[in-house]
Structure 1
Amino acid sequence: MTSTTDVPDPQADREVRHANFRAYYDAEAADRAHRPIPPWRTAAQEEFLVLLATERRRTVLEIGCGPGIDGAAIEAAGFEYTGTDLSPGMVEVARAAGLDARVASATELPFGDDAFDAAWSMSTLMHLDDAELDAALGEITRVLVPGGLFAVGMWGAQELTVGPLAAPDEGYGPPRYFHRRTDQTVHERLGEHGTVESWWTRPSRPGSSHRYQYAVVRTVGADD
């Protein structure tokens, strides 16, 4: 007979992962604030902001704001910006840069329905397990206006890989949990929450199965 102590507890596992995640990014916050964004990701952001301006969007929510590098660019482009992050250390750095940022989980956003015109989330949602990803995408679409736009980027792989990194990175803290999904899986998950209007993938290096997956999703409109 299997005892109850042998049965995995998903909630307990998530709490450990989240604690490790906060410890890692709290320690990394100051350094990450000085780490440049890759040109290919900056180009994606600029294209997204042009789209938002063309559609006269005004308010933008970032999920996983980090130290506020993307947030500063979004605000400088003339949008009303709000950022969220699970790491208090990252939020502190973002606030010090003058941004409206707050500690919050992607699966429980502290905002009302239809609160934002658009959302931006880079290199964040691949830290969530399947249940958390579904919850986060549901929350993002909930806080967006009907027909709102959501840009998301995640690290994925040709084959599903799940688990923490083999060792701590650069001495910042515990290993981080990654859930690297296939292109098909990510595209399908996003399509459950709206229309995928843009989609591309980019290998981390030539020939690598590790790749960045980027999409722009439009939520269901009021008349759809």
Structure 2
Amino acid sequence: MTSTTSTPDPPADREARRADFRAYYDAEAADRALRPMPSWRDAAREEFLARLTDERSRTVLEVGCGPGLDGAAFTAAGFAYTGADLSPGMVEVARAASLDAHVASATDLPFEDHSFDAVWSMSTLMHLDDTELDAALSEIIRVLVPGGLFAVGMWGASELTVGPAAKPDEDYGPPRYFHRRTDAMVRERLGEHGEVESWWTRLSRPGSGHRYQYAVVRALSPRP
């Protein structure tokens, strides 16, 4: 479904989507752990790692940690890493790789205020509707130290596109819900929670409206 506006979804719809996500990603966990990251994703992470090193950051939370591929890189670079993921299967695989990982929703992180110097969240927040996205960004700000950095990457589109994606070739479970926002929408949402210090987009293929949106944001103080 393609639209120019987005309205909040009923809570029951969100719960159903979360159940579908858990089923899908639990089934995919073992395979995803063996799937290498694309080079441009690795490059974004390495640039963020360098930035955190320059700022003497030590603790990093990953929201949507999956099987821990990025987490292993953060740990190898000497950072104190914590991962969170909605999928128990993904968390099990991450823990098997000796990572500190927790089953949790991005909209309700089980961590104390100001617990982390930085947050990393890739290919996760585009699965949230607008109400959930606002809650997740507020949670990221809450657990960050004042002025901390968070990096966000998500799949977007040239026009707002909302709804389940077609099933991939590997049938892991129910089709996943995507909320693909335009660049302007994403920048506006992020700007409500911090200062966007870095931004780029990468088309999935030449001429496509489907793109990856990446930002590094300096957190604002938590809302009262």
> Partners of 2:210 and 2:154 in 1: how far apart?
11
Letter in 1 for 2:203: P
The answer to whether the 8 A contact 1:203-1:209 is kept is: yes
Matches within 5 A, 1:22-37: 22-37=22-37
> Partners of 2:69 and 2:9 in 1: how far apart?
36
The answer to whether the 8 A contact 2:141-2:221 is kept is: no
Deviation, structure 1 residue 167? 3.1
> Partners of 2:73 and 2:221 in 1: how far apart?
27
Number of the residue aligned with 2:154: 154
Structure 2 CA distance for partners of 1:168 and 1:11, relative to 1, 3 Å: farther
> Partners of 2:40 and 2:106 in 1: how far apart?
25
Letter in 2 for 1:49: L
After TM superposition, where is structure 1 displaced by more than 6 Å over at least 4 residues in a row?
A: none
Gaps of 5+ in 2: 1-7
Question: Normalising to structure 1: TM-score of the pair?
Answer: 0.94
Deviation, structure 1 residue 171? 1.1
Number of the residue aligned with 2:52: 52
Number of the residue aligned with 1:124: 124
Deviation, structure 1 residue 83? 0.1
Deviation, structure 1 residue 221? 6.0
Larger Rg over CA atoms: 1
Number of the residue aligned with 1:19: 19
Deviation, structure 1 residue 170? 1.1
Number of the residue aligned with 1:215: 215
Q: Aligned pair 1:134/2:134, yes or no? A: yes
**Quick one: higher RCO (CA 8 Å, sep 6+), 1 or 2?**
2
CA RMSD of aligned residues (A): 1.3
The answer to whether the 8 A contact 1:168-1:174 is kept is: no
Deviation, structure 1 residue 166? 2.7
CA deviation map 1:177-221 (0-9, x unaligned): 000000000001001000000000000011110000000000126
Identity among equivalent pairs (%): 80
> Partners of 2:175 and 2:78 in 1: how far apart?
37
> Partners of 2:77 and 2:9 in 1: how far apart?
44
Q: Aligned pair 1:184/2:184, yes or no? A: yes
Letter in 2 for 1:160: L
Deviation, structure 1 residue 165? 1.1
Q: Aligned pair 1:89/2:112, yes or no? A: no
Number of the residue aligned with 1:5: none
Aligned residues: 215
Number of the residue aligned with 1:3: none
Q: Secondary structure at 2:11's aligned position in 1?
A: helix
Deviation, structure 1 residue 130? 0.4
> Partners of 2:27 and 2:166 in 1: how far apart?
19
Deviation, structure 1 residue 168? 5.3
Gaps of 5+ in 1: 1-7
Number of the residue aligned with 2:174: 174
Question: Normalising to structure 2: TM-score of the pair?
Answer: 0.94
